[in-house]
């Protein structure tokens, strides 16, 4: 038997609530957005055209062609969405959809309000960042092993997929060096090892099913035999950003031959690391990426410069 919480998120009243475990463990839940008209592919193709009005359009969609004409970008987006079912392999991601239309903004606020009710946490008052991303995948596409910075809720709208999730607090899963490389800006810093397979939990997502990913929880996704449309709802709390700063300082310290302590090992050292990275960060960032990575990039710049100076001599010696 199911009890509806708010409008969109459901909770199974026959079992203990998983919601106190948000940010601590992954778990499944239900929702009422399956086949919702807001996520019809034709509608998504139409709203994707709105990104050209944003000066920072790469916040919404990544393009390898930095000089692409905006009218060409419009056509490319619409064509890519239309070709999802043509048999070719396509992985499409439209970020910050809440900024592309009023109905999406309203949906984000409704979902966040329901999560506040379920978790007992004033998320919107505390969060530093939030948003929604629509993922559109071709049949049988595989998204490789990786992890993300945000607290995430993945809601299946159309199609089916298998989501494999790992415990981010398991030291046998994630190493300090992987986390440090990730916070230097390597989005695929997670290293797959065969022994990880037995530590995964598999969730089968069908329309109306969803799964919560804590921050930094590694995951891998296998799409089944039909086009998949999923909604990712995410936010970041201050403590997650703070921990990122510590990993960034540790990355730089390790580059200079030191052996830094992990977050939580020393409150005083953690505070000094946070202050250092904050001091080098952009004061008024335009994008979330700039906010998260500008400090560590500046701190690491001398090492990168030294490496570029040495590289020609090493190449000459090897030749």
Which tokens belong to 192? 């797959």
User: Residue written as tokens 């086009």?
Assistant: 227
Tell me how far CA of residue 210 lies from CA of 25, 32, 152, 291, in angstroms: 14, 10, 10, 29
pLDDT tens across 214-243, in order?
Answer: 999 999 999 999 999 999 999 999 999 999
The larger pLDDT score, comparing residue 56 to residue 185, is at 185
What's residue 306's pLDDT?
Answer: 56
Residues of the chain with CATH 2.60.120.650: 2-236
The yes or no reply on domain 2-236 and CATH 2.60.120.650 is yes
What's residue 107's pLDDT?
Answer: 97
- DSSP label at 140? T
What's residue 315's pLDDT?
Answer: 46
Share of the chain above pLDDT 70, in %: 83
Give the DSSP H or E segment for 235. Answer: strand 228-236
What's residue 219's pLDDT?
Answer: 97
What's residue 98's pLDDT?
Answer: 94
Q: How many other C-beta atoms lie within 10 A of the C-beta of residue 31? A: 22
The larger pLDDT score, comparing residue 23 to residue 48, is at 23
Report the half-sphere exposure of 95 (CA within 13 A, side-chain side): 15
DSSP bridge partners of 39: none
pLDDT class of 1 with cuts at 50, 70, 90: very low
- DSSP label at 292? H
What's residue 90's pLDDT?
Answer: 73
Tell me how far CA of residue 222 lies from CA of 91, 140, 206, 230, in angstroms: 12, 7, 13, 13
Residues 6+ apart with CB under 8 A from 224: 139, 140, 159, 160, 161, 162
Tell me how far CA of residue 220 lies from CA of 101, 112, 206, 266, in angstroms: 30, 25, 16, 33
CA dihedral 91, 65, 77, 141 (to 10 degrees): -10
Sign of the torsion angle spanned by Cα atoms 290, 191, 66, 72: negative
Contact yes or no for 103/44 (Cβ under 8 A): no
The larger pLDDT score, comparing residue 273 to residue 91, is at 273
Flag whether pLDDT at 137 surpasses 60.
yes
What's residue 45's pLDDT?
Answer: 85
Flag whether pLDDT at 65 surpasses 50.
no
What's residue 3's pLDDT?
Answer: 46
Q: How many other C-beta atoms lie within 10 A of the C-beta of residue 51? A: 23
pLDDT tens across 258-308, in order?
Answer: 999 999 999 999 999 999 999 999 988 877 888 899 999 999 988 765 555
Residues 6+ apart with CB under 8 A from 221: 142, 143, 161, 162, 163, 164
pLDDT tens across 165-180, in order?
Answer: 999 999 899 999 999 9
**What is the average per-residue pLDDT within 105-127?**
96
pLDDT class of 88 with cuts at 50, 70, 90: low
Report the half-sphere exposure of 259 (CA within 13 A, side-chain side): 0
User: Residue written as tokens 């490496």?
Assistant: 307
Lowest mean pLDDT among 6-10, 70-74, 293-297: 70-74
**What is the average per-residue pLDDT within 186-206?**
96
**What is the average per-residue pLDDT within 85-112?**
87
Assign 97 to helix, strand or coil: helix
β-bridge pairing 27-31 and 209-213: antiparallel
**What is the average per-residue pLDDT within 115-123?**
95
């Amino acid at each position: 038997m199911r009890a509806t919480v708010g409008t969109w998120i459901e909770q199974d009243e026959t079992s203990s609530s998983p919601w106190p475990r948000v940010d601590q463990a992954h778990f499944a839940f239900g929702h009422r957005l399956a086949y919702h008209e807001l996520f019809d592919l034709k509608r998504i193709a139409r709203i994707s055209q709105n990104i050209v009005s944003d000066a920072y359009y790469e916040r919404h969609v990544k393009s390898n062609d930095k000089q692409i004409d905006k009218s060409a970008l419009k056509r490319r987006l619409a064509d890519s969405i239309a070709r999802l079912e043509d048999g070719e392999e396509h992985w499409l991601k439209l970020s910050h959809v809440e900024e592309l239309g009023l109905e999406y903004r309203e949906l984000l606020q409704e979902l966040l309000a329901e999560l506040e009710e379920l978790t007992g946490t004033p998320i919107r008052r505390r969060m530093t960042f939030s948003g929604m991303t629509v993922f559109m995948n071709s049949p049988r596409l595989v998204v490789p092993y990786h992890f993300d910075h945000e607290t995430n809720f993945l809601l299946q709208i159309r199609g089916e997929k298998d989501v494999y999730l790992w415990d981010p607090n398991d030291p046998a899963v994630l190493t300090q060096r992987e986390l440090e490389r990730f916070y230097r800006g390597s989005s695929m810093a997670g290293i797959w090892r065969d022994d990880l397979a037995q530590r995964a939990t598999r969730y089968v997502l069908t329309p109306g099913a969803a799964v919560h990913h804590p921050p930094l929880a590694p995951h891998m996704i296998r799409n089944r035999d039909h086009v998949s449309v999923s909604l990712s709802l995410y936010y970041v709390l201050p403590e997650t950003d703070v921990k990122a700063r510590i990993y960034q300082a540790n990355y730089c310290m390790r580059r200079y031959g030191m052996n830094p302590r992990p977050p939580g090992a020393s409150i005083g050292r953690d505070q000094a690391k946070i202050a250092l990275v904050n001091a080098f960060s952009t004061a008024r960032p335009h994008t979330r990426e700039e906010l998260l990575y500008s400090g560590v990039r500046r701190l690491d710049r001398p090492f990168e410069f030294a490496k570029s100076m040495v590289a020609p001599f090493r190449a000459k010696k090897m030749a």
